[in-house]
Structure 1
Amino acid sequence: MKDLETNKRSAWQDSEMLECVSVVPEMPDTASFSFRAPSGALFDYQPGQFLTLEIPAPVQSGGVVHRTYTISSSPSRPRSITITAKAQADSIGTRWMLDSLRPGMRVKALGPAGLFTNANSSAGKFLLISAGSGITPMMSMTTCMWDEGQDLDVVFINCAKRPSEIIFRQRLEHMASRMPGLDLKFVIEEPDLYRPWSGYQGLFNQLMLGLMAPDYLEREVYCCGPEPFMQAVRDALAGLGFDMEKYHQESFGAPVESAADQPDLDDVVLDDDSSAEISFALSGVTAKCSETDTVLAAARASGLNIPSGCTFGVCGTCKVKKTAGEVHMVHNGGISEDDIEAGYILACCSHPIGKLAVEV
């Protein structure tokens, strides 16, 4: 009888307000807010989509603000819908939710909407890469595949400031302990005080990618996080020859609703047929090469010696100063932002764009 009653329920429409049923703290300034439809309607959406909430705000902010949040729950559990929100220092809407939204209160919501979903993918192997609260759509996708009984082949990478700031860590570890095929990889910038960390540490880079998912070329990639993070992921993948047609991204700062809203990814694409010219100023040598050649390779081909070690952009041994021109550099932590601003490059992972001059 209950199944028959469930089948008769209509799908929730955003003309009906949502009623908060629970607020679960996830970490400082972050909580999961679950809602139900007062009418008993069910939620129909695709994993990875988002809701836009109409939130009361201080009068000086206009009285009402609209904020967009990725749904962290799965459509396979349609009786409720959950968003997970993190308040930044200047948050207005999310701060109000953390301070004031409680079970029983109702809010206006628009959606669900968005194109960032693996619901229609025919891929059998996924690589989900996220940073911070960009983990929310990945949680929705993974839970949905889990609930549907799919044979999972998912490498799930999340990057966070500290281990204590990894959202959904315990829930994901529980899922991974119950079913093979969910391979969790966490990357942190620094460990928590007095709590040793034996996993990956630093900024996500090509070397980590190769260790975490050696078969990345065979996987469909979904990425979500701040734009600089997603840029680093795109650079790492493109530099390793990944087919970027299999790459999908969603910024948690600006989810898109339609294909027309998709931002153009103005990434550098190196071309074997595009020529470049490098002037090694101290040696008086000028070398012609392709954009796909590195400065280090061009120097060696010209009989010049630039000291080098790892050749992967890690050790920093091949740091040289660029005096003119531009390069495309995808390093793995071997050079600081201060050095880059001062004009230094790593020869092993820098590709010349047009004419270039370096102090070699």
Structure 2
Amino acid sequence: MASLPAVPPDPAAARLAGTLPPWNPDLDDTLIVRAIREETPDVKTFVLAPEKPCTFAYAPGQFLTLDLDIDGESVNRCYTIASTPTRPHTISITVKRVPGGPVSNFLHDRISVGSILRAVGPMGEFSCFIEGRPSPAPSYLFLSGGSGITPLMSMARTFHDLAEPRDIVFVHAARSPVDIIFRDELELMARNQPGNFRFAPICEADSLREPWHGLRGRLNLGLLNHIAPDFREREVFVCGPAPFMAAVREMLKGAGFDMSRHHEESFDFATLAENAPEVAAEVVSAEALAAVQEAVAPPVTTYTVEFVRQKRSIDCRSDMFVLDAARRAGVRLPSSCSKGLCGTCKSKLVSGTVDMKHGGGIRQREIDAGMALLCCSKPTSNLVVDR
């Protein structure tokens, strides 16, 4: 009797069959784009799943680092996870197109369903969940601007799925009604959780085909008092463009808010990554740091660092990070977090050795292959870097 042909496994059935292993990017960093959703005219969500069925585990608010090949160039970029770990079979990032930004435009224009991306993570400490459990705060105020909504959306989705009885006020600042990311879902969440979840969008202007009749202008203390008069009693989480976060910080300080209950995303992934070379403040910080080091540190060894592709050589002291020395010398290098987390500054060492203390933004096999994160690497010899 002839045997029947083998039936290939059904990935969807495997995901529903029971316990699956956790996703381990050290073993397999391949993610397949399963769906792409247009959130606003310039914002898309990319839903990702591993090639082999497994599950994602992360704290709401953490981020992924994508390892992209763009026209033969290896580029790393961080994107906050917008999905919720309560739905562990896929993971999603929501990306705003940045005019002239090489990575966001690559994702928007050249990535389609079925495309393969590589990623590392999840990583990051910006979360109201600690070791898988919500923090003990009874009430929260989420303040987001533009695409900074993503980590707060992950937190809100998680609370919603868990039916946690937490009092959450979610304020989102957008240019116009058409630019409100996740608007329909947030309004649905508010309907599903009457008394526990309030959504308060603020728009600066009308959309072309939709006049705005809600809260208008930019977030200020008057609007905040109107939306959440009890904001001083809440745990506050903030994410958005750097000027937005700075304005919120000063507003809360001026209102006498206890800043120990203020939490903000420590860096704006997309903006810093797309525009890192132009962030002058970071250069000033590097120079200030170097001045302090020169004033108080004992004499140390100075090494030469050669950047092959830029045809530049700089001096770097053994007590300085290579990235800081490069910025001080005016050498432009991709970077984002400057904490060894995101992987944006990952570079190939053609020769030489470094003392690197990273925060998870590089895998051991990459270190073994001669890669290093320049933001957290101090030279221990002369270096030649493929940058």
| TM class by smaller structure | 0.5 to 0.7
* Match status 1:37 vs 2:50: yes
CA drift of 1:164 comes to 0.4
Query: Aligned residue for 2:206?
Result: 191
Q: Deviations over 1:337-357 (max 9, x none)?
A: xxxxxxxxxxxxxxxxxxxxx
* Match status 1:173 vs 2:183: no
- Are the equivalent residues in 1 in contact too, given 2:15–2:89 (CA < 8 A)? no
* Match status 1:48 vs 2:61: yes
Percent sequence identity over aligned pairs? 39
**Residue identity opposite 1:101 in structure 2:** I
* Match status 1:229 vs 2:244: yes
Query: Aligned residue for 2:379?
Result: none
* Match status 1:127 vs 2:141: yes
- Are the equivalent residues in 2 in contact too, given 1:21–1:34 (CA < 8 A)? yes
CA drift of 1:6 comes to 2.5
SS of residue paired to 1:77: coil
SS of residue paired to 2:78: strand
Query: Aligned residue for 1:104?
Result: 114
Query: Aligned residue for 1:275?
Result: none
Taking the aligned partners of 1:94 and 1:196, their CA distance within structure 2 comes to 29
Taking the aligned partners of 1:2 and 1:106, their CA distance within structure 2 comes to 20
- Are the equivalent residues in 2 in contact too, given 1:189–1:201 (CA < 8 A)? yes
Taking the aligned partners of 1:254 and 1:152, their CA distance within structure 2 comes to 28
Taking the aligned partners of 1:4 and 1:206, their CA distance within structure 2 comes to 48
SS of residue paired to 1:147: helix
**Residue identity opposite 1:125 in structure 2:** S
**Residue identity opposite 1:176 in structure 2:** A
Selected match of 1:216 from 224, 231, 249: 231
What TM-score do you get using the length of structure 1 for normalisation?
Answer: 0.67
- Are the equivalent residues in 2 in contact too, given 1:134–1:252 (CA < 8 A)? no
1:14 and 1:232, CA in 2 relative to 1: closer, same or farther beyond 3 A? same
- Are the equivalent residues in 2 in contact too, given 1:146–1:152 (CA < 8 A)? no
Query: Aligned residue for 2:307?
Result: none
* Match status 1:163 vs 2:177: yes
Query: Aligned residue for 1:64?
Result: 74
* Match status 1:13 vs 2:17: no
Aligned pairs (5 A) from 1:341-356: none
SS of residue paired to 2:129: coil
Query: Aligned residue for 1:201?
Result: 216
Task: Provide the alpha-carbon RMSD of the alignment.
Answer: 2.2
- Are the equivalent residues in 1 in contact too, given 2:62–2:123 (CA < 8 A)? yes
- Are the equivalent residues in 1 in contact too, given 2:170–2:199 (CA < 8 A)? yes
CA drift of 1:224 comes to 0.2
Taking the aligned partners of 1:56 and 1:117, their CA distance within structure 2 comes to 30
SS of residue paired to 1:236: helix
Q: How many residues are treated as equivalent by the alignment?
A: 254
**Residue identity opposite 2:58 in structure 1:** Y
Taking the aligned partners of 1:19 and 1:197, their CA distance within structure 2 comes to 38
Query: Aligned residue for 1:297?
Result: none
**Residue identity opposite 1:55 in structure 2:** L
Q: Deviations over 1:158-205 (max 9, x none)?
A: 001111000000111111111211111111111113532221111111
| Larger-gyration structure (1/2) | 1
CA drift of 1:38 comes to 1.2
1:100 and 1:247, CA in 2 relative to 1: closer, same or farther beyond 3 A? same
**Residue identity opposite 1:200 in structure 2:** L
**Residue identity opposite 1:71 in structure 2:** I
Query: Aligned residue for 2:102?
Result: 92
* Match status 1:115 vs 2:129: no
SS of residue paired to 1:214: coil
Taking the aligned partners of 2:14 and 2:77, their CA distance within structure 1 comes to 36
Selected match of 2:257 from 237, 242, 248: 242
- Are the equivalent residues in 2 in contact too, given 1:132–1:158 (CA < 8 A)? yes
**Residue identity opposite 1:106 in structure 2:** I
Taking the aligned partners of 2:265 and 2:93, their CA distance within structure 1 comes to 16
**Residue identity opposite 1:6 in structure 2:** G
CA drift of 1:58 comes to 2.9
Taking the aligned partners of 1:254 and 1:86, their CA distance within structure 2 comes to 11
Query: Aligned residue for 1:310?
Result: none
SS of residue paired to 1:6: coil
- Structure 1 gap ranges (5+): 257-262, 267-360
4+ residue segments displaced more than 6 Å: 1-4
- Are the equivalent residues in 2 in contact too, given 1:173–1:184 (CA < 8 A)? yes
CA drift of 1:253 comes to 2.1
CA drift of 1:53 comes to 0.5
SS of residue paired to 1:232: helix
**Residue identity opposite 2:229 in structure 1:** P
Q: Deviations over 1:44-77 (max 9, x none)?
A: 0000000010122135xxx121111000000000
CA drift of 1:251 comes to 5.1
